[in-house]
Structure 1
Amino acid sequence: MRTLFLALVALIAVLHLYIAWFEIFAWTSRGPVVFDTFPAELFPQTTQLAANQGVYNAFLAVGLIWALFIRDSVWQRRVAICFLGFVLVAGIAAAITVSLRPGLFQIVPSLLALLIVAFDRRR
């Protein structure tokens, strides 16, 4: 279970590195394709907002990566749970404010990882 948990933490970290890259560097090129329901003229006007949001996603990724390098298993789990909780909240906020689809990309993996660690802890 621990290996599966850490694999999910790593996967979620990579996802957030991608989201950070997307929001910081590819907002005007990839944004209109990904968010096709938004008007295309919106993206150049919101580049700074997206880049700022990308920095927050980078923080989430760095926190999850940090957890992977912690040697003490108790603290590793605690730090990972903390950042997974942040990801879960960010996903819920995205689902409410943007649309369900981008939120689910954060909600489902983080919730699954949190459930795995909760189940593993009971054993």
Structure 2
Amino acid sequence: MRPLANILIGVVLLIHVYIFLLETVLFRTRGRKVFGLRAEQVEVMAPAMSNQGCYNGFLAAALAVALLHPDPAIAKAFAVFGLLCVAVAGVWGAVTVQRRILFVQTVPALLALAVLLLAQ
């Protein structure tokens, strides 16, 4: 069950690397299309989106530590912390921005967390 948990954690990690890229380096191109923004909106929103992307990068980093740390207890602690942060951020995003965020972020994070906790 732990290999499945690691696969799911990896999926959540990759989702957040992609979100990080969309909100930072790709915001004016691919990000604009994904978020459905007009050209004039992009310049106004770019600084805030870059900041938000930075936080998504931190979430991805926590999950990377969870997958790479050699101590299983520390790896699990990072996984639980990272997945809970992703789930909460997804709920907040669904409430404040768009309901779809719940399914893109929260559902995969909670699924990974459930499998991780059942793997014990």
TM-score by length of 2: 0.91
Give structure 1 stretches of 5+ with no counterpart.
none
Does 1:103 pair with 2:102? yes
Contact preservation (8 Å) 1:24, 1:54 = yes
Match of 1:10 in 2: 10
Question: Offset at 1:28?
Answer: 2.1
RMSD: 1.4
Distance 1:64 1:32 in 2: 26
Contact preservation (8 Å) 2:17, 2:60 = yes
Structure 1 letter corresponding to 2:74: W
Which structure ranks higher in relative contact order (CA pairs < 8 Å, sequence separation ≥ 6)?
A: 2
1:80-114 per-residue CA deviation (whole Å, 9 max, x = no partner) reads 00110010011111101111112321011100011
Alignment of 1:13-92 (within 5 A): 13-36=13-36, 38-92=37-91
Question: Offset at 1:39?
Answer: 4.6
1:37-74 per-residue CA deviation (whole Å, 9 max, x = no partner) reads x5542221110000000110111111100111112222
The DSSP-based 3-state class of the residue aligned with 1:46 is helix
Give structure 2 stretches of 5+ with no counterpart.
none
Structure 1 letter corresponding to 2:25: F
Q: Which runs of 4+ in 1 moved over 6 A?
A: none
The DSSP-based 3-state class of the residue aligned with 1:115 is helix
Question: Offset at 1:120?
Answer: 2.4
Alignment of 1:108-123 (within 5 A): 108-121=107-120
TM-score by length of 1: 0.89
Q: How many residues were matched structurally? A: 120
Distance 2:40 2:31 in 1: 11
